[in-house]
Structure formats: C-alpha cells, structure tokens
Structure 1
Amino acid sequence: MADTTDLTLRSILTDVLGLAPGQAAGFEPDTGLFGHLPELDSMAVAGLLTEIEDRLGILIDDDEIDGEMLETYGALLAFAQAKRAQAAKA
C-alpha cells in the first residue's frame, strides 16, 4: 500500500496543483510544500485534500488538518499512509 500511496499522492499533487510533468517525481521527504510551492496556497489546500480523500479512499477530519501535515512531502505522505492503514482496519 505504501508504494501505491506514494505514487498516487505524487499524481494528485501534479494534477491538482498543475505542476510540471515529473516535478513531483523528484520530491524528497524533506521537500517543502505549503509555503514553498507557489502553487500550493490556501485556496489550493481544500482542492488538494478533497482529491486525496477521493483517490485514496480516506476521510480527513477538519481537526486533522494543520500546517505540519502540509509542511513537507514526507509529512503529507506519512499522514496519507496512516489514514489508509486506519481505513483498511475499519
């Protein structure tokens, strides 16, 4: 599941934010997102989270959304992987 989560998340970031082809493929765990990618502004966050929910089959509660989750690619990936694992147990 981790590998598919990673690939899917990179695809979501590319599609929702309109990143250049291959740009997200180069993201490392410490690659900055919110505040570092001009495409990821406060208006894009809602669309990004909705698409993550839809494509990964998870539900993100409002109280789970914070700046730390969107700070780096690694943090967002870890969050998505944890939510998928939680959903698989339910």
Structure 2
Amino acid sequence: MNVYEQVLRVLDDALSLQGRSVAFDRGTPLLGALPELDSMAVLALIGGLEDHFGIAFSDEVLNADVFATVGTLTSLVEQHLSGHPT
C-alpha cells in the first residue's frame, strides 16, 4: 500500500467516511468541501496521520493549504517521510 492509499485510509477512519474515500483522487477537495472535516476532525486527522506514519507535524507546516485536497495532504505526509518537511 502506497502513501496515498494509506492517507485515504486514515482520512476515512478519522472522518468516519465509511469507505467513501475510495472514490477520492488527489484533486478531491477537503477543507470546505467535506462537512465531516470540521475543526475537531482536523485534529483527529492530524493525530491519525502522525500515529499511522510515526511522524510529527510542526505547527508551522499545518495550515489550510495542506488540507485543500487529498493531494496536498498526501504531499505533506510524503515530505515528512522523506525527511524534508516544508
């Protein structure tokens, strides 16, 4: 399972999407488009990604832009896994 697929799985779990994430692609909008992604869900999603991938996000990299689409969220995770967080 690649990083993108794992991000979808964590997203599905954190937001209780009940499998709807399988229809998502990298361009699928998240913040503002998914009613499930409210402020509390963002915290759950961050925690879920950190736990799943064994990474920690700094406050400086967490902004609305990284939650814009599935692709931007996946890129954030990939950058942290490569050791090059922006």
TM-score with structure 1 length normalisation? 0.86
The CA distance in 2 between the partners of 1:25 and 1:84, in whole Å, is: 23
| Unaligned stretches of 5+ residues in structure 1 | none
- Paired residues for 1:14-25 under 5 Å: 14-21=12-19, 23-25=20-22
Identity of aligned residues (%): 31
Amino acid at match of 1:63: E
RMSD over equivalenced CA pairs, Å: 1.3
Matched, 1:63 2:77: no
Q: Is there any run of 5+ residues in structure 2 with no aligned partner, and where? A: none
Equivalences, count? 84
Where do 1:20-59 residues align within 5 Å?
A: 20-21=18-19, 23-59=20-56
Correspondence for 1:13 = 11
TM-score, normalised to structure 2's length?
A: 0.90
C-alpha offsets along residues 30-84 of structure 1, whole Å, 9 cap, x if unaligned?
1100110000011111111011001011110011100100011110011111111
- Flag as ranges the 4+ runs of structure 1 deviating above 4 A: none
